[in-house]
Structure 1
Amino acid sequence: MHMPNSQSALELVRVSKRYGAVTAVDAIDLKIPAGSYCCLLGPSGCGKTSTLRMIAGHEVVSEGDVLLGNRNITYLPAAERGTAMMFQSYALFPHLTVLDNVAFSLRMKGVAKAERQQRAQALLERVAMGPYAQRRPAELSGGQQQRVALARALITEPRALLLDEPLSALDPFLRVRMRAELKRWQAELGFTFVHVTHSQEEAMALADQVVVMNGGRIEQVASPHEVFNRPASEFVARFMGGHNVLAQDGGKVSVRADLIRLARQRPEGVPAVEARIAAVEYQGSYVLVELAHDEIADFTAIVPEADFFAAPWQAGEAAQVFWQATDAHRLG
């Protein structure tokens, strides 16, 4: 099941995708290390799904090259690439049993029935779905269907597993559980996972490498920690959330909302602006305070619960808003 690691490194070289006059992906370069968990993250229409589908061979590359390990796979048929795709809808065959769903691609390749069923059963055991082999997809929960879809993708022994919004159909509680399972499976299997999502939280939880996309281009490639603490651009800071974008010294800086402080008296020796409390939302361990300021859009502070309730703020109050100069990250 385990491929030599170097063979699962993915590289995109000046890859573009055009649909008529529309450029969906614009000459992107990307290296995804072997055996890593990479999340392509961005809003709808940013090019992330087109990029994934070009890696899979489900979309034709308009320009550029896709390399997997030491092979140029740009023009190979999907089945010959060494990739496997796991779809948002799971795309299970409703009339086939779970076992036959997992074994399906081996059947297409002419693998003998006994061998393909044995291999399918072994994979079902691996994803804790062994007892469900004879059920139909309609008899399974969303989380169970996802495990079957994963087993079906893994049976081809891919070097890279491609996941298209795989958690979006699940309820929030199950989504968190399945995130942990995806991360565990990727660590156990040791090959490359490329996962498309529009959820910042999902990307932060799963990825070794986050690729933030916008308008068909890559805005930043970095670890989740780096992307959150040192966003490369105003777009990344705003899209990741939890940041305020402020004008300072002729440029723009981002300051994390949890590093913003509120006071009723103007503090000395630190940058401060006056704003009005627009809204207060209790979130359990913290309170989200929305601030109104004529020149700062989407201005927020995250205040620890104990600090907030020691001296609660009300909507309409004036507040001195300040932060440490060292907490301001200059944007490119």
Structure 2
Amino acid sequence: MARNEQLIRQHKLLQLLEFSRFGRTLEELRLDLIADLGLTALHERTVRRDVEALQAAGFDIQTDTVERGKVLKLGQATTGVHEVGISASEMIALSIGRELLYPLVGTQYWRGIESFWNKVQETVPDGVFDHYARYRKTLHVFGTPSKSYAEHEGMLKTINRAIVEHRVVEIQYESVGKPMTKRLIEPYGLAVYQSSIYVVAAAHEIEDPKERLRNWKLDRFRKATALDEYFKADELDLSKHLGRSIGIFSGDEATMVKIRLGGRAAAYVREDPWHPEQKLDPTDDGGSILTVPVSHPREVLPKVLSLGSDAEVIEPASFRDAVSEAVAKMAAKYQQS
């Protein structure tokens, strides 16, 4: 048995029973577990033992006989623990966060978000909800990409299971402008960056520890299969790893890039910082020198270009050359037209 497999199944069982208003038969639970956890097989006896273990642990799982057979459902002693005490301002904050996560519609994450949101609406007193509804109309959320990961739900389940069990995953990956390739990855976690999901995983065939870990964009996955091969996970602080740079190309070490900003550009960057560790040093002409950690020129390029002639990369030379080359190609295209 893979490490924590029983715990994972039992946690998922509780979720399935929680979402089921009219209960589930053992066979329905078995099929749901296979689908949600990406299993190849699961015996009904195993599901029964998991249910019995949860009952022994104190969860109020009751049985009832209906037209389709004997079903299992959560009793009041279990469902009562989910009552939520929340204020109108907390509901507003929660609803804003929910709308910012629209790209997750169709995934298991979105079902969790919607399930909790529905519980909140059903639990709060009418006066609190009326107060929330009145003030929520004054605040609107825009700018989230019109994309969805519904078609990737199956792959997400496979990858989530592989992360927990430390399983190697075979993927078919198609980078933009490149042919599809078959790769083996060792997944450590998931990251949501600018409404896109990335899989933080090591490339199985690469041995250099500084080169192995990469962020793979889920949009480019065409297929993902968890193999019966396990990897030894390295100690990794994902938050630290992903926070080293201004973008998603995080690595072991970021490069400190210096950018000369005019007064208006410096004001924009001060209003909307690029990174928590950025530094803005004022210059005599009213502008600033921005110093910010960057892992790849492609991270800084769109930000610098968005500021136009009011921003200039000073160093290092490799980053300056990358921006210079992009600007030259753009200028050539506009001159041709």
| The two structures share one fold, judged by TM-score above 0.5 | no
* TM-score interval, normalised by the smaller of the two chains: under 0.3
| Rg (Cα) greater in structure | 2
**Which has the higher relative contact order, 1 or 2, with Cα contacts under 8 A spaced 6 or more apart?**
1
- Provide the TM-score with structure 1 as the length reference: 0.22
Between structures 1 and 2, the one with greater helix share: 2
